[in-house]
Chain A
Amino acid sequence: EVQLVESEGGLIQPGGSLRLSCAASGFSVSGHSMSWVRQAPGKGLEWVSVILYSGDTTYYTDSVKGRFTLSRDISKNTLYLQMNSLRAEDTAVYYCARVLVIGNFYYGMDVWGQGTTVTVSS
Chain B
Amino acid sequence: DIQLTQSPSFLSASVGDRVTFTCRASQGISSFLAWYQQKPGKAPRLLIYAASTLQSGVPSRFSGSGSGTQFTLTISSLQPEDFATYYCQQVNTYPNTFGQGTQLEIK
**Contacts from A to B (Cβ < 8 Å):** 35, 37, 44-47, 50, 59-62, 95, 97, 100, 102, 105-110, 112-115
Contact B87 A112 (CB under 8 A): no
A-contacting 9-mer, from B14-22, B65-73, B75-83, B90-98: B90-98
User: Can you list 23 A-B contacts with CB-CB less than 8 angstroms, sorted by A residue number?
Assistant: A37-B44, A44-B99, A44-B100, A44-B101, A45-B38, A45-B98, A45-B101, A47-B89, A47-B97, A50-B96, A62-B1, A97-B43, A100-B49, A106-B91, A106-B96, A107-B34, A107-B49, A107-B53, A108-B36, A108-B91, A109-B44, A114-B43, A115-B43
Pick the contact of B95: A61, A95, A109 (CB < 8 A).
A61
**Given known contacts A107-B34, A110-B55, is B98 in contact with A46 (CB within 8 Å)?**
yes
Contact B50 A107 (CB under 8 A): yes
List A contacts of B53 (CB < 8 A). 107
The SS class assigned to the B binding surface is loop
Q: How far is the CB of B9 from chain A (nearest CB, A)?
A: 10
Contact B97 A112 (CB under 8 A): no
Contact A110 B98 (CB under 8 A): no
Contact B43 A95 (CB under 8 A): yes
Q: Is B11 an interface residue (CB 8 A)?
A: no
The CA of A113 and the CA of B44, in the complex, are separated in Å by: 9
The CA of A5 and the CA of B91, in the complex, are separated in Å by: 24
Pick the contact of A108: B38, B49, B101 (CB < 8 A).
B49
Contact A113 B50 (CB under 8 A): no
The CA of A35 and the CA of B46, in the complex, are separated in Å by: 14
